[in-house]
Amino acid sequence: MNNKTKISSRFKLIVWNCNMAYRKKAPFILAHKPDILVIPECEHPDRLKFQKDLPVPDDILWYGANPNKGLGVFSYGSYRLRLLDIHDDSIKLVLPIAVTGGVSDFTLFAIWAYNPQDPNYNYIGQVWKAICHYESLLTANNIVLAGDFNSNVIWDKLKRKVTHAMVVEKLTSLNIFSTYHAHRNLRQGVEEYPTFFMYRHQDKPFHIDYCFASGNLIDKLENVEVGTHEQWAKYSDHAPLIISFRL
């Protein structure tokens, strides 16, 4: 009998709010060789003209009302992206996406939590609405929520209808956890590395970008890295969040 050992494969997902004009900044994030890129504040694909020496995405999914500033998701290699029919356009901007064709299929919720037309549920409130609307999907394995949540537990004192802690608690009850906090064994609100620098100022740091994953993926988490202000402030007010899994 031949015993075949399954060879694991690394999967890399990167979240980066590019602060618009992604076409000019793509070389710097693509140097990290992502399998999936989640890019808030990305222009419409019709406006993307990449340098000839850059890898061309094998699949693109974009959503938004402003062609200069939407939510872009890019895949490289065999991964394919499909917006699920259950998508609720009123929840801005949270996209439920079937990711197929890779080592393991999974459901990705790409997020840019921003809806000024819904002031009582802006920012983290949009994530809360998405969790409630898509809860039946979130009970499965292989779930990832990744993007710019525009939120941190430090702002829970503002007494909003929905708090960051409420979202984290609800996701935890669904066996979904923040990759950054799980990898570094940290509590929410005491992050060592910020993902956002207000006005690009180093002295105004916040951690507001996240990748949450279901427990079976947390078990396969290999590394979580956050870009530095020194390297990324010249391109955006956000630094990338780079998550690697060994599938």
Q: Which residues contact 90 (CB under 8 A, 6 or more apart)?
A: none
Q: Is residue 4 part of a domain?
A: no
Average per-residue pLDDT for the chain: 95
Residue-number span of the structural domain to which 41 is assigned: 10-246
Q: Is residue 5 part of a domain?
A: no
Instruction: Look up the pTM and report it.
Output: 0.95
- The enclosing domain of 206 has a CATH number of 3.60.10.10
- The count of domains in the chain is 1
Evaluate if residue 178 carries a pLDDT over 70. Answer: yes
Q: Is residue 231 part of a domain?
A: yes
Q: Is residue 1 part of a domain?
A: no
Q: Which residues contact 24 (CB under 8 A, 6 or more apart)?
A: none
Integer angstrom CA distances of residue 128 from 169, 180, 209, 246: 11, 20, 15, 29
Kindly report, residue by residue over 86-111, the tens digit of the pLDDT. Answer: 999 999 999 999 999 998 899 999 99
pLDDT for the residue numbered 52: 85
Q: Is residue 2 part of a domain?
A: no
Q: Is residue 95 part of a domain?
A: yes
Q: Is residue 205 part of a domain?
A: yes
Q: Is residue 165 part of a domain?
A: yes
Q: Phi, psi at residue 80, to the nearest 5°?
A: -125, 150
Kindly report, residue by residue over 24-70, the tens digit of the pLDDT. Answer: 999 999 999 999 999 999 999 999 988 888 999 999 999 999 999 99
